[in-house]
Structure 1
């Protein structure tokens, strides 16, 4: 296994990165139309086509999911992905027309030091198109794609991914762009909140600090206005699930954020999670199997959040936040 979301059969991932812009786009393409849903817990989300992911809506499957920087401007990225899919004849059939279904979410990275003076046309449609055409099974983590301009309260954020086999035998994966208002690390230190879930030293193998430090009365928060942060993610499994079951999986997945980021789901964040099922393996029990898959998704997403920060490198612009490796590259 690659320890990436692409370990889930039936999907690929592409990134487009612009370090001058200090922003980028990440896309998940599905080999076949795929059942998905979404759950939003942050107070300042930026999303596209999330309403159709409700269990009672008509469209039963999607073709891609997009994560992007650029705040509201980044919503254009999904249009570029849709254009790339349309060139391949992929889309929801409406008579002779084919309409690619590409929900997406954005994060705020407009004041991170990058050159956002793009004039009349923001670059995100072109970045989305490039990301779609770059999709494959292997991809880098850290300061790439939607994680390019991402930050946490005191460290560079980034793009993270992880995978795991559930006790049911199903594969689960997570892909996340961490641009949190809070922190992924214990205050002032190298240790990750997600340490109990780490596998094979994937984010430094430091474990939990000992003794555990007392927490400050005031949690760490970026000094930015509401909506200026967001952690956005996609979780996937090869299980056969309905839209309602995907909705429940997305709801459960938010506990992965809670295990990896403190504080989370604040009015300053736009935290959003998509859940997709590529329908390769049926469930033996629709209730208990889903519970076990959901628990595995929580663990996997928490690990992916830590990997996003661990793998990041600092932006080249002066005065930007340091990366974890800048401060703790050789451990605490």
Structure 2
């Protein structure tokens, strides 16, 4: 496998991503929208998730496709971002048709970024507006790092961020990942600058640093966030034709990538989850080995996207934690 032409989730044809952020509040929203409705599923492994409309993504539910997926900061308040997206999609005539009424299907997930130093003293919830703005900005190219849902994110000892990566398989199938990284755990190895995801890096996309010789996998981590203050929320996508049940297995497999890139991950204090999206533009070449290969590719993409999120985070005045680039700039990063 090799990276796609953009090394973004939008290398999956028919998918577009938009960001909106407010740097005063230190928060933001990211929207993934399809040119047409797409199959979607979800799998949650964290102990403190915050979600909207995820129950309908089970394989036995009536609605099998969605119009968009939303990742947002703001904790439970950020769930309102999906309402802004739904309003805009309905105004555009999109949505599940119920007797002539269009009902956009917009599942979402949030991360906790309310204690990052931003001004949270708002009167009107800003997330509905951020959701609409992110949808309006959707395109094939979008910013990573301190952008969208990753604007106010943090990980252990560093700023978090928004990341993405993609691969093209030997048969031409494309897989991509999009992630907002706000983890309790660490993305880098100990006190070093090297990333846990180093074995899966492609073409120096997060510094080409390799693995740290001094990494100690037996080190016992100490949480530096309170309960419920962490979450890594992600989307993996493919142009393969999948059922909703197959898409759910794709989301399950992708969690391997989260565990490779964040140590520890899936804790009781994180709301870690993965959405899966399948546009169905390409039939599975092999119904037996196809899902297996897609799951591995999704995990690889997600691990790389997590490292890229932290690697590309930008320092800004008032940061409570350093950006990776600022902390390690003196070491030739």
Instruction: Specify the SS of the correspondent of 1:21.
Output: coil
CA displacement 1:299-331 (0-9 Å, x = unmatched): 01000000000000134225x100000111344
- 5 Å-filtered alignment, 1:191-230, equals 191-210=194-213, 212-215=214-217, 217-224=219-226, 226-230=227-231
Instruction: Specify the SS of the correspondent of 1:297.
Output: helix
- Aligned residue number for residue 9 of structure 2: 5
- Aligned residue number for residue 148 of structure 1: 151
- 5 Å-filtered alignment, 1:1-332, equals 1-119=5-123, 121-210=124-213, 212-215=214-217, 217-224=219-226, 226-317=227-318, 320-329=320-329, 330-331=331-332
User: How far off is 1:168 after superposition?
Assistant: 3.9
- Unaligned stretches of 5+ in structure 2? none
Distance of 1:139 and 1:81 partners within structure 2: 17
Distance of 1:163 and 1:157 partners within structure 2: 20
The answer to whether the 8 A contact 1:4-1:173 is kept is yes
The answer to whether the 8 A contact 2:190-2:216 is kept is no
4+ residue stretches of structure 1 with deviation over 4 A? none
The answer to whether the 8 A contact 1:45-1:272 is kept is yes
TM-score by length of 2: 0.96
User: How far off is 1:214 after superposition?
Assistant: 2.7
Which region of structure 1 is more displaced relative to structure 2, 284-293 or 174-183? 284-293
Distance of 2:127 and 2:54 partners within structure 1: 19
Distance of 2:170 and 2:295 partners within structure 1: 11
Distance of 1:331 and 1:273 partners within structure 2: 34
Distance of 1:126 and 1:213 partners within structure 2: 43
User: How far off is 1:166 after superposition?
Assistant: 2.4
Which region of structure 1 is more displaced relative to structure 2, 212-221 or 275-284? 212-221
User: How far off is 1:72 after superposition?
Assistant: 0.2
CA displacement 1:111-160 (0-9 Å, x = unmatched): 100011012x2100000000000000001100000000000010000000
Distance of 1:138 and 1:223 partners within structure 2: 33
CA displacement 1:255-299 (0-9 Å, x = unmatched): 010110000000010001000000010012222111001101110
User: How far off is 1:216 after superposition?
Assistant: 5.2
Distance of 1:300 and 1:235 partners within structure 2: 8
The answer to whether the 8 A contact 1:45-1:230 is kept is yes
TM-score by length of 1: 0.97
User: How far off is 1:220 after superposition?
Assistant: 4.2
CA displacement 1:192-213 (0-9 Å, x = unmatched): 0000110111100000112x43
How much is the aligned-residue C-alpha RMSD, in angstroms?
Answer: 1.1
Relative distance call for 1:239 and 1:214 in structure 2 (3 A) is same
Instruction: Specify the SS of the correspondent of 2:84.
Output: helix
Distance of 2:158 and 2:260 partners within structure 1: 18
Relative distance call for 1:196 and 1:217 in structure 2 (3 A) is closer
Relative distance call for 1:220 and 1:206 in structure 2 (3 A) is farther
Q: How many residues were matched structurally? A: 328
